[in-house]
Amino acid sequence: MIKIDSLKISAKKNIDISAFVSEKYKISGKIQDFSILKKSIDARDKADIKYIYSICLKTDEKEESRLVKKYNNIEKYKKNIYSIPSINDTKKGTKCVIVGMGPAGLFCALTLIKAGVSVVLIERGKRVEERIKDVYDYWDNGNLNVNSNVQFGEGGAGTFSDGKLNTGIKDKEGRKDFVLNTFVEYGANGNIIYDSKPHIGTDVLRNVIHNMREDLIKRGAEILFSKEFISFTKEKDNIEVSIKDTENCKTDILKCDNLILAIGHSARDTFEYLSNVLSMESKPFAMGFRVIHKQEFINKSQYGEDYADIYETLEPSPYKLTYQGKDRGVYTFCMCPGGYVVNASSEEGRICVNGMSDQKRDSSFANSAVIVQIKSEDMDSADCLFGMRLQRQIEENTYKVGEGCIPVSFISDFLKNSSYKTEIDFSDKDFDLFNGIKGKYKEKDISGIFPEYINKSFFEAMVAYDKIIRDYTKVNPLIAASECRSSSPVKILRDENYESSIKGIYPCGEGAGYAGGIVSAAIDGMKVAEAVIKKYIYFIIKIDNIIDIDYSVLGF
C-alpha cells in the first residue's frame, strides 16, 4: 500500500478521485484498495479554490515501487491499527463504576468492556431521546431541568453542540482513528474520518450516542440514568459509591474495584465535593461572547464574492481568528457554520450560551465564541474552585441582565454603552440575526456583565478581526452573553498511572482538566481504561508485534 500526499483537486466540480489519481500518475495496475486519509481546503486563490487530499491505495507491488521512486509525495504506507488489550481470565470479575456518559465515559466504558472488565455507567441526566425533549422545553418555554439539559445527559455537553471532532493531539497509537471509526460504526458520516475539520452534527450525533448505548448494553454494560454521584468511600481495594436518584431522591450504594470520574466541565456540585477529598487545582480557561453573522457574509469573505457561481462543492465556511493583546490572548472557539447560538444553562438563576449546528449546517447563520483568556494570575491560587466561582458570578450577572433570557446586543450598541472608542462605521442592524438563536432572548445592554479587563480585550480583538476578515465587525454582528464553559476551570490531579491522590480513583476527560473537546475527551477515556487494564493484564498485543509486557504479573 502507498500514501500520496498533497494531491490538489479543483473545488469547481465533483471529481472521481480514484480515476483522477490513476490518470495523473499513469497507474497501469488495477487499484485494489483506495481510501482518503485527509481532506482540507486551500482558499487563498479565490478564483481557483482547491481541495488538498492525502490518500492511500493498493495496486501491484511493482507499480507501487515505481511510484515511490518517481514521486516525492508518494511513500510506502501501513495503517496504524489500535488494538484493545484483554485482561487475564482470572480477573474477569473486575468491576468499574464510571461517572458520566460524555465521550470520556463512553469510550472508557467501551474500551474496558471489550477488554473483559465489568462496567457500570451512571449518568445524572436522561437518555438522549428524553433529554432532547427537556432541552427543547427549556428553549421554547423556559422550563429548566437542572439534571437534563444542554450540559447534562447521555452523550455529554457535546451532544448539543456542532459535534466537532477536530483535535491537535499527536496520535501514534491509533486512538484517534479508533474514535472516528467507532462514530462511523454507530451511524456518523464516513467523511469524519478524513475531513481536516470533521463534524458529526447535533442531529446525527444523537443517533450515534443512542446506537453506542445499545451496543454497550448488548456487551454487558449496566447503565443507570437519572443517578447522581454523591460521594465515595474506600477501604483497602474496595470502593463504595453513593448515588442518588434525581427523580425520587432515593440513595443507593454501588461497590467496585475502580471508580472513574468522567464528570464533565459543568458538574460544579461534584467539584465542590471532590475539592475536599482529592488533590485539585484551578486551571486557566476563557470566557466571552457568542458572535453571530450571516453565513453568506462569512462564505463570501472566505471563498470570494462570486463563489456560488463558480464552485459546486463548497460547504458553509468556518473561520478561526486569534488576537494577542498586551495583557492576554483572545480567540474564536467552537465556530459553528450554518448553526445557532443556544441557551446552554444548567443551573437556576444563571445563563450561559453555546453554539450548535446540524450535519448539513443549513441555517443562514454563522456563530463563534470570541473568548478572552483567564490566566492563573487572575485567580486566587489558594482556592482551587476560584474559576468555577467566577463562571457562576458571570452567569448570574447574565441572568439578571437578560431577565432570565439570553441577553443580546448588536456590537454597535455594546460599544456605545461602554467607554471604548472606534472609527468603525457600523452597518445598520439586521434583526434577522435573532433567528440564529435557540432559546428565549432579550435585547439588552450587556456591557456590564464581565469585568473590565475582559470587555477591553474583547473590544481590541473585534477591531483587529475587522482587518483580518474584512468588515467582520463593521457589518454589526449580534453578540450574545455569556460564553463561560469553553473548558473546565479545574484540574483533578493524577499520577503517571492516571490515578488521583487516592488509588483506584481515576479523574478522566474534560471535566477533570485533561481534554478540550469530543475526540480528546474520548481518547483520555481510552487512556484511563488502558491504565485500569494494565493492573490486571499479563501482556498487551498490537497487530504483528508485542508492544509491552508487564512481567510483574507473571512473577518475573
Nearest to 369 by CA among 516, 229, 225: 516
Task: List pLDDT tens digits, range 120-130.
Answer: 999 999 999 99
Q: How confident is the model at residue 442 (pLDDT cuts 50, 70, 90)?
A: very high
Rounded mean pLDDT of 153-181?
87
Residue range 290-346, pLDDT digits in tens:
999 999 999 999 999 999 999 988 999 999 999 999 889 999 999 999 999 999 999
Name every residue whose Cβ is closer than 8 Å to that of residue 516 and which is 6 or more positions away in sequence. Answer: 167, 487, 510
* Assigned C-alpha cell, 39: 481532506
Instruction: Return the DSSP state at 227.
Output: E
Calculate the alpha carbon distances from 398 to 104, 360, 406 in Å.
30, 31, 8
Q: What is the pLDDT of residue 420?
A: 84
What is the band of 92 on the pLDDT scale with cuts at 50, 70, 90? low
* Rg, the chain, Cα only: 25
Q: pTM score, two decimals?
A: 0.93
What is the structure's pLDDT at 551? 31
Contact predicate 409/479, CB 8 Å:
yes
List, for residues 40-81, the tens digit of each pLDDT value: 999 999 999 999 999 999 999 999 999 999 999 999 998 888
Tell which wins on pLDDT, 551 or 381: 381
How much is the pLDDT for 550?
38
**C-alpha span between 417 and 446 (Å, rounded):** 8
pLDDT given for residue 237 in this prediction: 80
What are the cell numbers at 476?
454589526
Asked whether residue 544 carries a pLDDT value surpassing 70, the answer given is no
Which of 112, 123, 6 lies closest to 53, judged by CA? 6
353: left (phi over 0), alpha (psi -120 to 50) or beta: beta
- pLDDT grade for 160, boundaries at 50, 70 and 90: confident
**Pick from 249, 280, 248, 250: nearest CA to 263:** 280
Q: DSSP letters along 263-307, please?
A: --TT-HHHHHHHTTTS-EEE--EEEEEEEEEEHHHHHHHHH-TTH
Higher pLDDT, 382 or 554: 382
The predicted structure's pLDDT at residue 372: 98
pLDDT in tens, 391-403: 999 999 999 999 9
Instruction: Give the count of alpha carbons within 13 A of 100, CB side only.
Output: 31
CA 199 to chain centre: 10
Arithmetic mean of pLDDT, 350-363: 95
> Phi/psi of residue 214, each to 5°?
-60, -35
What are the residues facing 341 on neighbouring strands?
Answer: 355, 437
Q: Give the span between the Cα atoms of 506 and 531, in whole angstroms.
A: 9
Is residue 539's pLDDT more than 50? no
CB of 541 within 8 A of CB of 534? no
What was the pLDDT predicted at 554? 29
Q: What is the distance between the alpha carbons of residues 56 and 503, in angstroms, rounded to a whole number?
A: 44
Q: Per residue in 466-483, pLDDT tens? A: 999 999 999 999 999 999
Neighbouring residues of 327: CB distance < 8 A, sequence distance ≥ 6 = 453, 457
pLDDT at 209: 96
